[in-house]
Structure 1
């Protein structure tokens, strides 16, 4: 792999395996060379072999001697590596046609629904361009970003924040389960389809990035296993988690890209960010029905934050091996030696799980107090309005106590009373 590069502006040689890049007098150098090629002079970094007058295999093959720097992925390490520009920064003709067809389909769909839609819209400060901008009747602006080839996390963060600063909600579209944009901004994943099928109107299902909130009471009759106990145990508490449509009970129908074009612009679907409780990634981004979002906020008291990014991520920490510069041009080998397979980010598993604290029990010395959150959660789990929720007259657990077809005691207590008679 190439661990050295020539800086054409400063006229210096950079050793990418050293923490200071071989230039302790330039503390900002790392940030400068990691800047996206779209935001700098493409000829800023040069292949060392080309600079020294030796054969550059990339130029010999009719391509460019200019380079960019990225994080590699080798055996769990993340070294900085220099690659020739055409390796990852130019989409193939097939990818370009896919990109164009998807963009045109989004704009056409929005126009068919009577929404304002434009392609290739620049932000006010010209720092970013959305592939498609769809504006809803209430002024909601969705900036669609179709990203079918690899884009680094820093670029996703930067472009998402720029969109938010310009009063747009970014909506990234990927086709790869390992795409770096997944869970780093609001996103949706579609199938890898030929551009002719996209342009021809073939069904485009959202395979990842759209979820529904499921709330259930963890009892033996529940169709779900308890997320807190091993095996098939049940904790008698109320759980709330986000599921893909096909994993819901009852199963939800698939969400198509046309559905998301309309519902995101009208506010019927909204982006939600759910922080992780433990280590690892900071959290999950997803699109959800607005009603589910409101229920989630009532249950957790958690606002839906803007799609901002944490300052750093463990899996992107740079590894410095402190080696001598390899002055050989490695064009053609870069893909094999600098990138192990990227980890799958779209796992499709339930996420954002929350369990309410144990519900209050009835005591003889004071009346039972039910908090608003407990009432909302119980209503969601029981499938009834909150005002119909009340305590079982025997065990005190929350149940459908009031309204039509209500009962004084829960099913388990009624069974126990019948058995004792």
Structure 2
């Protein structure tokens, strides 16, 4: 894998293994060379062998001598690597038409709903340009980014952070389940369809990136498996996880692109970042109903909203080995980005995961010691307001004690009493 590249505009050689890239007088050089190819001249970076007049294996193979920069992964290290651009890296005319049609549809939808909508809006420092900037009635600003071809995770993170600093919530749109932008910032995935269908108003469902909170009591009668035992049993706890609309019980209504345009700008749907179970470094971004977000915060005890864009993960930090530049063309040795299929990132599986342990028995706990988190979880799992909750007269578990379908004993205790 190449650790050096030629910068055609500045006429300089760049050593990717050095922290300053060999040019301490150019502090913005790293940001410039790692920006998306769609945002710069594709011939900005050149293979060193090609520049020196030696054989470029990529060009001799009928491909490109021009390069882009990505993060490699070698034995736990994350070096910067120069890779040759595949011929298809630049968006085709069909992809550009898809992009334009989607942008126009978002703006038309917003305008039809009475929202303020603008195209190609840049932030004050001009480091981020939103394809469509939609402003809601209360001042919420959503920066739609339609990204139908590859973009590096670092570019997604950098542009999203910059948008948030300017009080714009980023919303990235992908059409591919392998898109690297997925779970790097708030996102949504739509179907890959011809631009004419998009322009003609064909139904555009949000296939990924939008979820609903489901809370259930983990007992043998539950329709859901226990996430802690891999379905091998039941733990008697209360589980809360995020599901796609089609996997909810009962099934939720599908979300259309137009729904998200309106709901995101009005605050009816909000972005959240949920760390993976047992790991605070990695997690999932999703759009969710605002009511579900509020319930989630009650369950996990969050006093402030979760961040829209979290910090970079540890293993995303660049590693600089400080080596001599290798001027040999390494086309064909450049790793999975060029030769292998990208892994699927939008798996559609339940995510988030929070479990409230089984409520203690009455003899060890007084009703006044029931926490707000326990009460919120029980209310969500039983589908009743908190004021209808009470303790089972038999085992002391929280249950519905007043209102419709109220009882003195829980189902387990009723079964025991009936069996006597």
Which category describes the TM-score, using the shorter chain as reference length? Answer: 0.7 to 0.9
Q: Does 1:408 align with 2:408?
A: yes
Q: Which residue is 1:388 aligned to?
A: 388
Matched, 1:191 2:194: no
Residue 71 (structure 1) aligns with: 71
Separation in 1, partners of 2:365, 2:24: 74
Deviation at 1:339, TM superposition (A): 4.4
8 Å Cα contact 2:15-2:21 kept in structure 1:
yes
1:323-334 matched pairs, under 5 angstroms:
325-328=326-329, 330=331
Q: Give the 3-state SS of the residue equivalent to 1:156 in structure 2.
A: helix
Report deviation, 1:351: 0.7
| Counterpart position of 1:225 | 225
Q: Which residue of 2 aligns with 1:240?
A: 240
Task: Give the SS at the match of 2:179.
Answer: coil
Partner of 2:308: 307
> Is 1:130 aligned with 2:130?
yes
The aligned residue for residue 170 of structure 1 is 170
User: Contact 1:164–1:306 (CA<8 Å) still a contact in 2?
Assistant: no
Matches of 1:278 and 1:30, distance apart in 2: 37
Stretch deviating more after TM superposition (371-380 or 266-275): 371-380
> CA, structure 1 residues 162+228, in 2 after alignment: closer, same or farther (shift >3 Å)?
same
- Find the counterpart in structure 2 of residue 108 from structure 1: 108
Mapping of residues 11-410 of structure 1, within 5 Å: 13-14=13-14, 16=16, 18=17, 23=22, 31=30, 34-36=33-35, 45-54=45-54, 66-72=66-72, 80-84=80-84, 87=87, 90-279=90-279, 282-302=282-302, 303-314=304-315, 325-328=326-329, 330=331, 338-363=338-363, 369-410=369-410
How many Å apart are 1:327 and its aligned residue? 3.2
SS at match of 1:223: coil
Structure 1 stretches lacking a partner, 5+ long: none
Q: Is the 8 A contact 1:133 1:143 kept in 2?
A: yes
Distance between the aligned counterparts of 2:383 and 2:346, measured in 1?
A: 30
Counterpart contact for 1:360–1:370, Cα < 8 Å: no
Once the two structures are superposed, what CA deviation does each residue of 1:7-66 show, in whole Å capped at 9, x if it has no partner? 4577654455x5669959899798367431677787653332342234668889999855
Are the counterparts in 1 of residues 273 and 310 from structure 2 also a CA contact under 8 Å? no
Distance in 2, matches of 1:405 and 1:61, equals 73
**3-state SS in 1 of match to 2:363:** coil
Partners in 1 of 2:125 and 2:22 — Cα distance?
A: 33
Measured after TM superposition, the shift of residue 227 of structure 1 is 1.1
The separation in 2 between residues aligned to 1:280 and 1:339, in whole angstroms, is 32
CA distance in 2 between partners of 1:22 and 1:36 (Å): 15
Change (3 A) 1:315 1:37: closer
Q: Taking structure 1 as reference, are residues 219 and 321 closer, same or farther at Cα in structure 2, changes over 3 Å only?
A: farther
Residue 272 of structure 2 aligns to a residue whose secondary structure is: strand
- For residue 211 of structure 1, report the CA deviation from its aligned partner: 0.3
The 1-side partners of 2:267 and 2:254 are apart by 19
Is the Cα contact below 8 Å between 2:157 and 2:184 reproduced in 1?
yes
CA offsets 1:73-112 (integer angstroms, 9 cap, x no match):
7999866432456747621111111100110110111111
Q: Which runs of 5+ in 2 are unaligned?
A: none
Q: Following the alignment from structure 2 to structure 1, what is the Cα–Cα distance between the partners of residues 334 and 367?
A: 71
8 Å contact kept, 2:101–2:195 = yes
Closer/same/farther in 2, CA of residues 19 and 358 from structure 1, 3 Å limit: farther
Contact 1:110 1:134 in 2 (8 A): yes
RMSD: 3.4
Task: Give the TM-score of the pair, scaled to structure 2.
Answer: 0.87
Please list the CA deviations of residues 250-308 of structure 1 after superposition, one character each: whole Å capped at 9, or x if unmatched: 11121111110111111110001111233595211100000000000111122333323
C-alpha displacement at 1:243, in angstroms? 0.5
Distance in 1 (alpha carbons) for counterparts of 2:365 and 2:123: 64
